[in-house]
Structure 1
């Protein structure tokens, strides 16, 4: 795919970095902080089974690739989808309104994750369900943006195009999906083909939810030494083990003012803040 589509490799790298940064920031003060390993000593990967966290990561990857590809189409960074192809003349694409190509992002994501060849058993259907939830979280952020053209600001003609919101908006929705994910009973089957239609029918009923198959191990094992947001957060994050309080100095810009018309000048203020760490 990367050989056929110039620029895709760079876009996928951007998608990976975007997903990691957004995930770590969003789950910074949760028991699971986006680590791919539940227990460092036991080296238990979240991909050993289909946990709630596994389902979320699958959705997150799908969402980030879809978002990055759609944005890259609008900026002309991909050879497979450019504003030239959409509007015919490169010199006028800005006026024509080259939008974020969600449909192409969805198509690339499914191809890259080998969606069609995942299989028909319960694990494959669960994986595909979670990928769709991730893609749809980006589609829900898609909005129409319009610009008026005409004499003296009149709207005699109007150009409209599609825009996807910032990735953090989708992260808020994905986190809700994480907390409301549905655990499915593992089916004991002998013939994958025989039960595949039944699985698809059940998946279709809750297609808007993340689905997982195994209960997550005890996440409290990995919260030792973690920093809490505040005392209330420590009550949850530290799992009842308690926490230690220390002081740290934090620098920030303060007393800012405009100087010589166009320059902002600020002082640097230092204050001591409480730092809470799980025992």
Structure 2
């Protein structure tokens, strides 16, 4: 229904704002721009005000101003198109979950020491902010996956009819896509139909939400970090745009496939994050600290080669992430669980950075001796086993 997202947005912003005074200490500390704080926006504890009317734009503008972390461009977009913000927030949460999953066995596991600041709008948590502003490889991955999350979530909102500003893609044949089977399928007779994912709209929204501010700030400061973030935002958007799949449904007598109706569909976000992790591992390029209009590779022999859309960019080498450094937002690996006699990133040798590890025995309960019982149930016994758990010193 068209109004479900309207109510959802009121759940989100009214709850967030009801704990925020309209007036307060005007000299409260400035907080950095970090739109990832939207991850904390959302609750079902309160219902929307019954007298609220959708034409009350001033009320929305006030709510948007209270969302600490949004830069002026993003606040303007919030006031202009407020119903999209819950989808952005949902995308952030999904991206953080995927980031934690992809890096859970590495020294940097997508976590950080986030500073909490009291503002006149309440508490502001600078989630992953220090990493995001560090311009290293991990910041590159964060920028890319967050940009991809906006495209993915906004596009879903369009297709479900929950965003009135967009709908299904009306010209799917003009998009880039890959056939979902062999090349012979491309010669099959088909027509576009169904509801193709409106990826072009999602890309336009994400570009405006993220890139406009970076362009403005680079023009003012000439700080290459803004160009780097803009490029990595592009990498994230392209990870979705270049991997749209054609899905088809057959039509014909007795199950034959005389004719097909086809539409275009994004990959699952978990697949997008898999692709971005591979690009982080194999296609991350260090760039120079100085740039005029475009980024340049730091390697002198490659400076004339422009950065490609599948290459992440970073300025500074990453720290080891071995030792705790709260100033840099690094938690270190002490206390992290590792795997003995492994040769991958979660091995105790790599994860513990040579400090060694402690071993303790734990009694764990697991399901065992599972049997299928007709019909239709699986019954298991509960077994206990003694497990050696290794944690970094």
Unaligned runs of 5+ in 2: 1-76, 115-127, 172-191, 298-302, 324-331
Distance across 2 between alignment mates of 1:241 and 1:16: 35
CA contact (8 A) 2:365 2:382 kept: yes
CA contact (8 A) 1:59 1:133 kept: yes
C-alpha change, 1:242 and 1:272, in structure 2 (3 Å) is same
Distance across 1 between alignment mates of 2:146 and 2:354: 33
Give TM-score, length-normalised by structure 2.
0.60
Matched, 1:22 2:132: no
CA contact (8 A) 2:167 2:198 kept: no
Unaligned runs of 5+ in 1: 88-94
Structure 1 residue aligned with 2:326: none
Structure 1 residue aligned with 2:225: 123
Matched, 1:231 2:364: no
Helix, strand or coil: the match of 2:200? Answer: helix
Helix, strand or coil: the match of 1:33? Answer: coil
CA contact (8 A) 2:214 2:229 kept: no
Helix, strand or coil: the match of 2:260? Answer: strand
C-alpha change, 1:253 and 1:165, in structure 2 (3 Å) is farther
Distance across 1 between alignment mates of 2:92 and 2:359: 35
Structure 1 residue aligned with 2:49: none
Distance across 1 between alignment mates of 2:273 and 2:361: 32
C-alpha change, 1:157 and 1:5, in structure 2 (3 Å) is farther
Matches within 5 A, 1:10-49: 10-37=86-113, 45-49=130-134
Distance across 2 between alignment mates of 1:261 and 1:125: 60
Structure 2 residue aligned with 1:148: 250
Higher helix share: 1
Q: For residue 54 of structure 1, report the CA deviation from its aligned partner.
A: 1.3
Give TM-score, length-normalised by structure 1.
0.82
Structure 2 residue aligned with 1:109: 206
Helix, strand or coil: the match of 1:60? Answer: helix
Structure 2 residue aligned with 1:272: 386
Structure 1 residue aligned with 2:293: 196
Q: For residue 266 of structure 1, report the CA deviation from its aligned partner.
A: 2.7
Cα-Cα RMSD? 3.0
CA contact (8 A) 1:249 1:270 kept: yes
Matched, 1:183 2:286: yes
Which structure's relative contact order is higher, taking Cα pairs within 8 Å and 6+ residues apart?
Answer: 1
Aligned residues: 262
Q: For residue 5 of structure 1, report the CA deviation from its aligned partner.
A: 4.0
Structure 2 residue aligned with 1:212: 314
Structure 1 residue aligned with 2:359: 245
CA contact (8 A) 1:37 1:46 kept: no
CA contact (8 A) 2:132 2:143 kept: no
Distance across 1 between alignment mates of 2:348 and 2:273: 23
Distance across 2 between alignment mates of 1:123 and 1:133: 15
Q: For residue 6 of structure 1, report the CA deviation from its aligned partner.
A: 6.1
Structure 2 residue aligned with 1:92: none
Q: For residue 242 of structure 1, report the CA deviation from its aligned partner.
A: 0.8
Helix, strand or coil: the match of 1:66? Answer: helix
